[in-house]
Chain A
Amino acid sequence: MKIKKLRKELSLQVIPFSEIQNLTISERVKKILNLVLGNKIVILHGRLRPEEEARLIEDTMALVDHVKNFKGIELAVIEPNVKNEGFLTKAKYGIAKRLVGDTNALTLIGPASIIREIKKDPKKIELLLK
């Protein structure tokens, strides 16, 4: 019964990087928050820039204040670990990041009313639902 209920509530939406590539900060954040407000867990191919993450938090807080039952978001970024890689791999990764953005990463954003916690360490990521 419990599983049925969870399945009914859990909806994932994958956004390819190409879909947000040409959007402004406001448009990107608005697109993500619209999906989250629709109780969807967003899997974004790539990662937001730090200033976009800050804007996402600011806009989320403004919404918590105004939208009934909206308690905020859970956010996590999964990135390839290149710390222990050789110089060439690091350089290649760095150049690609500068040219086309961090497309090797995955960003998970979901409503705090559905996701209790995203536990992250370098080796695994756990999505704990309510």
Chain B
Amino acid sequence: MIRILKNFSKRILAALFRRKREIKIGFYGPPNAGKTSLANRICKDWTGEEIGVVSKIPHETRHVQFKEKVEIKHKGRKLTFKIVDTPGIATKIDYEDFMHYGMKKKDSKKRAKEATQGIIESIQWLDDMDAIVVVLDATENPYSQVNITIIGNIVARKIPVLLVANKIDLKNANVKKFESTFPEYELVGISAKEGTNMDEFYEALFRLSKKV
């Protein structure tokens, strides 16, 4: 009887401790899908500060950046997160692509070098996450192997995952195509830029946190 009570109180304490601690949530995805835009939107909403710089040129985020103690309140519930924004994962980097955006050769080469290191850093951080939000560009082809590789790696590591189809404010966005490509995962269509559907996103984020 004493042992049962002991175990019960241990479980209660563990549950309380788990609820109080910070949930480390990673934002992963291909380059330019809007990971930093979404992380910025969340951080701005709840701390008043942004996490990083957003740009039209791919690989703007080349180092993992994070914001701690982001307290999110939703429908009477409250959770504290560590928001981890990661560089976009790609299988190729060509410095000449950056030159099409008007960058100088020297700067493009530097950006390419940093981007390759950023991708390695992103992958190495995977194991540190409690849960992951995969941010995908709703205007792109969902069958991209990078998307499949990212999601496959998260699932193989048994990390709870939420998919976000971003950029639904754009005409050619197709959330349904993403839903039919990944039917086994929860997916929310949002526009991080416009703040569309953020309530549904927070609802899904709290559901995701329960799986941690």
Contact = CB atoms under 8 A, between A and B. Distances in A.
Interface stretch (B14-22, B44-52, B86-94): B86-94
B9 interface: no
A72 B93 contact: yes
A112 B113 contact: no
B116 A64 contact: yes
Contacts of A57: 89, 91, 119, 123, 149
A61 B87 CA distance: 13
Contacts of B89: 57
Q: Which of B91, B93, B113 has the most CB of A within 10 A?
A: B91
Contact of B92 (A54, A74, A77, A119): A74
Interface stretch (B65-73, B151-159, B192-200): B151-159
Given A58-B120, A62-B120, A74 B91 contact: yes
Interface residues of A, number: 25
Interface stretch (B33-41, B130-138, B140-148, B202-210): B140-148
B27 to A, nearest CB: 17
A74 B92 CA distance: 7
B117 interface: yes
Given A61-B120, A62-B120, A71 B149 contact: no
B141 A120 contact: yes
15 contacts: A49-B156, A50-B152, A57-B89, A57-B123, A58-B120, A58-B124, A61-B116, A64-B93, A64-B116, A71-B94, A72-B93, A75-B145, A118-B145, A120-B141, A120-B143
